[in-house]
Structures are given as C-alpha cells and as structure tokens.
C-alpha cells in the first residue's frame, strides 16, 4: 500500500438501482479493499415499512461482503424523526452499527417532498429534525451495547454555495460520526465539476470528521485531492468507482483494472440477480445500465456495444458479452466521455 493511502478509509457511495446487495457482494469478492459500502437509500414512509427489495437489501444474511474487512451502512431518506428513529432501531436490532441520513438526493420527486436535498432549503427545519433525531438516538443501542452511530451525506446548498456556511453551522452542532460532503448544490445535480474549494471552506468551519465525495475517477484524481486535503482520511466514490471497480486497489499502489476480472465481476452480478429470482430480461436491463459506465474501457467497440444492448435472450446476451471481451480493445482508464 502506498504511504499516502495508509490509514485512509474508502467507501462506495449509495447509487439507486446500482449498488444493491448483489453488486456489493460481487464487488467485494472480486475487488477487496473497500472498507464501507453504503446502501441505496431506504425510502421510509408513515407506515414504518419498507419495500420487499429494500428488506432484502439490508437482510444481514445477504451481506456476503461483511467479513471483518468491510461494513455495510444503510442510508435512509426521510424528513420525519420518528421514521428515522424507527429505522435506526430496526437496523440496530439487525446488527448494524451506523445509519446514514440522506440530505443530498437532487431528484425532483424527492426534493418536492422536503427530503434529500430538499432538507437543505430550510436550515431551521433541518435543525428541528436533527434535534429530534439526536434526542432519541441515545436510547438506541447495537447488540454490542454501543450507541448507534449517525452520519450524514449532504450537498453544499440548494441553489448556491453561499448556503454552505449556514448549513455547516447546523451540522456542526450535532454529534455526527461523519459528515460526507459532495461539493455540488442541488441545482447542479451531477453536471459540471465538483467544487473542492467549497469543501475546503466547509472543512474550515467544523472539527467533525469529514469525508470527501465527488469526481474522483482515477488514482491521480485522488492524489490531487489528498494533496489538497491531507487531513482528510475518508473518501467516497460513486460514478468513478462503478466505472473502474479496481480504483481503490490502484490508489493503494496495486495494478490497473484487467479485462478478465471485469468479466468475472459482470458474471457475478448477472448470476446474483438470476439466483435471486430476477427474470432474465430484468437482469439484462440491470447490466445494460452498468454498461453505460464500463463502455469507456473498450475503445472502438461502439458497434459491438450497440448489438449487446439489442439482445433479446439471456443466451444471446452472454454470447455478445464474451464477444466484446474477446474482440474489443480493452483500455482501462478511458474516461473522456464520463468527465
């Protein structure tokens, strides 16, 4: 491991429809080294219940990636303290040690319900929510008797980074185990570039443990951020990590992504969905989404990728995938279309 990466913690960001239990288990099996995996948000409701797929995603028996070297941290989406505390108790009863509050999702259907990034629009109401959460969280303990940890993943405002100062003043008042900052405002969604200078401003306003999240696609990107923020030891990767699942290994001084292991990763994900009972066509659709990221590794393979996405049967799909890996020019690190 490189000296600069020693002691640092690397996390896989929650990505709806992508980083579910099948993906997490496959990733950890092929690319060990990531210490934390965050679940896509659990959409809490007034009935205090979850969808079947959400129950499956947090079932402790399904978490094959939890082996003493990695931890799964569930993320929740809510604007109601009673829902959050119900989830915290439920997760503690299932052996989880941390719960993460989503205050960053930019989706219109989320924001209009004052959830996700919608919580950032009114800092006073956010503070009331956090008051109620931390008034109750002390009564919730894990099986080992430890108090449930609460972390938060946030953006730096709704419309302007000028909002970041007031938001950090709010977050700084509460005993979060970690504040994960994605330095974009809601109005930017995931477009353009992240703003590390805004992260720097936030870091100067709190002594809390911070985690940097945003636009780290390569080991060189990480080294740039590490040089800029040497005091930061927690890092979260999203789109760049899906594209290059070997990214942490490279940061730690290991080899680049290889075609054979990407194929193994693909096959584990596909087989995982099928073993779960997912219909062939739906399993293929799941992989089609991943190919929007993986395609950057295959130069001159546009025609083959188009054929891949037109397949109708699972057998044809598998044949096209094997054809792609056998014939295309595999060039890891080809990200021009992602940035």
Give residue-wise pLDDT tens across range 166-203.
999 999 999 999 999 999 999 999 999 999 999 999 99
> Which H/E stretch holds residue 165?
helix 164-171
Backbone dihedral region for residue 191 (phi beyond 0: left; psi -120 to 50: alpha; all else: beta): beta
Question: Quick check: 77 and 154 in contact, CB under 8 A?
Answer: no
Give the end of a domain, one of 251, 284, 310.
251
Residue 337: inside a domain = no
Domain match, 144 and 95 both: yes
Residue where a domain terminates, one of 227, 251, 275: 251
Q: Assess whether 212 and 269 both reside in one domain.
A: no
CA–CA dist 188, 181 (Å, integer): 15
Domain annotation covers residue 297: yes
The rounded distance, in Å, linking the Cα atoms of 121 and 114 is 8
Query: Nearest-CA neighbor of 333 among 252, 258, 260?
Result: 258
Domain identity same for 263 and 156 = no
What is the average pLDDT score of the chain? 94
Q: Report the number of secondary-structure helices (H) and strands (E) in the chain.
A: 14, 12
- Work out the pLDDT band at 338, boundaries 50, 70, 90: low
What is the tens place of the pLDDT at every residue in 307-331? 898 999 999 999 999 999 998 889 8
> Between the CA of residue 297 and those of 12, 109, 316, what are the distances in Å?
20, 33, 22
**Same-domain pairing of 164 and 299:** no
User: Are residues 176 and 306 located together in one domain of the fold?
Assistant: no
Domain assignment of residue 289, given as a range: 259-329
Other C-beta atoms lying within 10 Å of the C-beta of residue 207? 7
Q: Kindly state whether residues 179 and 198 are assigned to the same domain.
A: yes
What is the per-residue pLDDT across 230-258, written as a single tens digit (0 to 9) for each? 999 999 999 999 999 999 999 999 999 99
């Amino acid at each position: 491991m490189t000296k600069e990466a020693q002691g640092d913690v690397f996390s896989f960001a929650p990505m709806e429809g992508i980083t579910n239990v099948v993906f997490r288990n496959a990733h950890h099996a092929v690319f060990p080294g990531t210490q934390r995996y965050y679940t896509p948000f659990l959409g809490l409701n007034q009935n205090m219940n979850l969808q079947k797929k959400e129950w499956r995603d947090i079932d402790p028996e399904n978490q094959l990636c939890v082996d003493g070297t990695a931890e799964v941290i569930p993320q929740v989406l809510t604007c109601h303290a009673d829902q959050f505390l119900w989830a915290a108790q439920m997760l503690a009863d299932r052996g989880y040690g941390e719960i993460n509050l989503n205050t960053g999702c930019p989706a219109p259907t989320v924001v209009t319900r004052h959830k996700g990034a919608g919580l950032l629009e009114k800092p006073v109401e956010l503070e009331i929510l956090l008051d109620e959460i931390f008034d109750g969280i002390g009564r919730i303990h894990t099986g080992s008797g430890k108090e449930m940890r609460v972390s938060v993943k946030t953006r730096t405002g709704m419309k302007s980074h000028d909002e970041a100062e007031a938001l950090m003043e709010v977050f700084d008042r509460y005993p979060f185990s970690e504040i994960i900052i994605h330095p974009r405002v809601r109005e930017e969604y995931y477009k353009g570039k992240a703003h590390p200078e805004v992260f720097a401003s936030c870091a100067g306003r709190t002594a809390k443990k911070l985690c940097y999240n945003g636009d780290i696609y390569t080991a060189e990107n990480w080294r740039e951020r590490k040089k800029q923020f040497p005091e930061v030891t927690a890092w979260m990767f999203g789109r760049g990590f899906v594209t290059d699942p070997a990214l942490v290994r490279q940061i730690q001084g290991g080899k680049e992504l290889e075609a054979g292991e990407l194929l193994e990763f693909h096959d584990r994900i596909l087989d995982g969905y099928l073993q779960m009972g997912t219909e062939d066509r739906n399993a293929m659709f799941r992989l089609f989404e991943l190919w929007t990221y993986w395609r950057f590794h295959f130069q001159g393979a546009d025609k083959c990728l188009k054929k891949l996405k037109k397949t109708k049967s699972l057998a044809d799909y598998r044949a096209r995938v094997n054809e792609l890996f056998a014939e295309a020019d595999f060039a890891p690190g080809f990200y021009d279309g992602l940035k």
